[in-house]
Chain A
């Protein structure tokens, strides 16, 4: 019983985690431009490092973002394809939840009630953000978000101990796997929905331009 987690919402992070929560292998590339190049080798590496064959993977956790679109899609396409190839479930997992879980884990064990804001780069001088109230049964309790905003337009944080903010440049696939594991354990399922949070850049045509004066 092994979870393969893939997240390309920031760099490329891939991990193998056993269903008891034991981390078997992880492979992280911080480069935010080369997801398509590295994702295949990253999956191969974690399988090889853990000595696990692809057929032993029983669940795929795919980070649905938020994150810059082009890279985000690479990991999700890989997650969809791996799950399809092995005939196993894909558990779409919010990438910010992985960041939050990692932070909560550093604060202590068990359930926690601490306010936390997760902020990641959304490019174009904007950020993606989510607010959390704490951790319950290993699952971050998300109050607001993920959403996208200019840094100056962020609302005041809510929840207890509201000054905690994590500005993350990376997402850990280990944490993503642990969130997916906890959600599966609690019977939480999520629709496959990449969190783009922005519409495609396109404006409707105003008709053909004149070519003669």
Chain B
């Protein structure tokens, strides 16, 4: 066998590193380029349309799409940023949590890119990456500690972020479906297409959010004792399905706008109530939202209202930085580099259940 080659060199430019980030944890192939906290490129290729007819993300379809999108997405990001790949100081890649087969496409690419450029690679946490996206906004980095509510088709997590490079605590997460998944499933129940989030939002316009009192998962006192910051949306989805079935069986017309608005209200109510409770309980008056579900108009509205009432400073990055993207991965990589963190060893793999507390692979 061959002798072990020496490791890739560490970054020398620790003050304002040029970092290329790769994201492939679900159905978005993202390549982003940042210089320190400055966003230079954020190119996203989504395979969402290919999943629409299946009503949800099909892992193998997503993984195939990542490989097809890789070269054009890389090329566009480099062109947009106006840099040469040889100028890159480091490569960052999301290594989990997410779909293993999808993550591995990004990992294979990131490692080869790093070796080809003789630059180090940082294997970072996809969820913490969503927090990292915040530093790229026009307002600059959010003051820490902060509470982060990350809501997407695959995740619903509440984090206490004391430092995004070395101190992230998981306060709670969904114990069954992710919030975005619940939107997709309820959309199907109502005969609406995938993805469900925007469809439910459209259908809910003009609906009465108080028309039907759907259950708020894990909010009863006995549930709060054990799951204060956890979420559950599976029971809500079933409650909506049952409500609709009973009326369909009786031959009644389904008030789609009211059902959509009432369902959305139940989701938004729980998400914002628990996030605000975490801010209040922990004395952290700063809340950061991230993930694709932040596109939901009602979530933004209620979050703003409740944050204002509770005296909480709310931050929602622009949408292209909220959905899965490579820029947030690059941003977290840059933060790690600027903090002096050493690069990841080259033998890391995909970890589909990487805990939020593990910010990067050491």
Contact = CB atoms under 8 A, between A and B. Distances in A.
Interface of A: 6, 8, 25-27, 34-41, 43-49, 53-54, 57, 69-70, 73-82, 84-86, 192, 194, 196, 200-202, 204-205, 207-208, 210-212
B67 A80 contact: yes
Contacts of B113: 81-82, 84-85
A40 B112 contact: yes
Given A54-B116, A200-B58, A84 B71 contact: yes
A104 B199 CA distance: 59
Interface stretch (B153-161, B322-330, B347-355): B347-355
B173 to A, nearest CB: 24
B70 A81 contact: yes
Contact of A48 (B5, B54, B241, B346): B5
6 contacts: A37-B348, A49-B3, A77-B70, A77-B106, A194-B64, A208-B189
Interface stretch (B97-105, B127-135, B215-223, B296-304): B97-105
Contacts of B55: 205
Nearest to A203: B54
Contacts of A84: 71, 74-75, 85, 113
A36 B350 contact: yes
Contacts of B103: 36
A-B CB proximity, top 8 nearest: A40-B111, A48-B5, A85-B116, A77-B108, A78-B112, A200-B60, A74-B108, A81-B109
Contact of B107 (A25, A47, A74, A80): A74
Contact of A80 (B3, B5, B53, B109): B109
Interface in B1-45: 1-6, 8
B185 interface: yes
Interface residues of B, number: 54
A54 B118 contact: yes
B2 A49 contact: yes
A137 B196 CA distance: 56
Given A27-B2, A49-B2, A85-B116, A38 B60 contact: no
Given A36-B349, A77-B105, A81-B70, A205 B188 contact: yes
Given A40-B115, A48-B5, A205-B54, A211 B242 contact: yes
A77 to B, nearest CB: 4
Contact of B112 (A25, A27, A39): A39
Contact of B349 (A37, A57, A86): A37
Interface of A is mostly: helix
B64 A200 contact: yes
A79 B112 contact: yes
A30 to B, nearest CB: 11
A41 B75 CA distance: 24
Contact of A44 (B53, B106, B115, B241): B115
Contacts of A204: 53-54
B97 to A, nearest CB: 15
Given A54-B118, A200-B60, A208-B185, A77 B347 contact: no
A60 to B, nearest CB: 9
A35 B350 CA distance: 10
B215 to A, nearest CB: 14
Nearest to B100: A70
Contacts of A46: 2
Among the interface residues A85, A200, A207, which one has the most CB atoms of the partner chain B within 10 A?
A85
A35 B106 CA distance: 13
Given A35-B104, A74-B104, A69 B189 contact: no
A201 B61 CA distance: 9
A34 B108 CA distance: 11
Contact of B188 (A69, A77, A208): A208
Contacts of A8: 108
Given A44-B8, A70-B100, A84-B71, A211 B115 contact: no
B293 interface: no
Given A49-B2, A49-B5, A76 B67 contact: yes
Nearest to B101: A70
Given A73-B105, A211-B242, A196 B64 contact: yes
Nearest to B116: A85
B347 A38 contact: yes
B316 interface: no
A141 B6 CA distance: 40
Contacts of B54: 202, 204-205
Contacts of B112: 6, 39-40, 43, 77-82, 85
A175 B288 CA distance: 53
Given A81-B70, A201-B60, A45 B2 contact: yes
B46 interface: no
A194 B3 CA distance: 31
